[in-house]
Structure 1
Amino acid sequence: MELITTTIKRKGKRSVRRHLFITTVRTTPEALLRLIRQRWSIENEWHWARDTQLGEDAHRYANRIGAPVFGFLRTVVMNLLRRGGYRSIRRGLRALSHDIKGMLALGGVQLAENST
């Protein structure tokens, strides 16, 4: 059992938070905290965005055979948007929703220019 104390400063106010963890991992409190933050970064960056910004859990096909295919497509879209510099998936979708050239450019595709 590990007790980790962190100090947070928001809007000029300091607050101390204590977190109690039960684990079999033998490491320093700083390393344990880093492991926990890495785990939650996956949740915050991927699962939260997939559900809230892409509405993954709300789709009617969430429990059907095609769900893995749509999950894969969502992952591709999120990766492309992040690679294109969009920190917010929603903002990236809005910016590119009517820009087919911009969407294709994220994937490295450029349309040939008409030479007429």
Structure 2
Amino acid sequence: MRTSSPPEDDGVPREYRITELAALAGLPVRTVRFYRERGLLAHPRRQGRVVVYTHRHLERLRAIKALLERGHTLNGIAHLTLAYKSGVSIGELLGELPGPSETPPADSTSSGPMGDQ
């Protein structure tokens, strides 16, 4: 089993046991299991009695950690995850998606990243 961090240019996916994954993500193993139980992290692949995580799991853990550091809650992150898996766009989540007969504003320049500053 390889333990390098990101997948390399050779195209070989990296695999981790839970202790390696948790260490790379900077989280306790118990937290990784908790996120998996809450549906925030996809279930790992089983190889006999061993569970194997991939770089995608690591990236998801890093994203969850970053969102928590920005003040998001686990419930909010779970809601975003479910919406993403269901194909819901950010615009739909925010209730700001233009309808079929509406067109976006002609001047799309703004003073801030959200356009309302």
Shorter-chain-normalised TM-score: which range? 0.3 to 0.5
The TM-score with structure 2 as length reference comes to: 0.33
- Larger % of helix: which? 1
Of structures 1 and 2, the larger Rg is shown by: 1
Higher relative contact order by CA 8 Å / sep ≥ 6: 1 or 2? 2
- Larger % of strand: which? 1
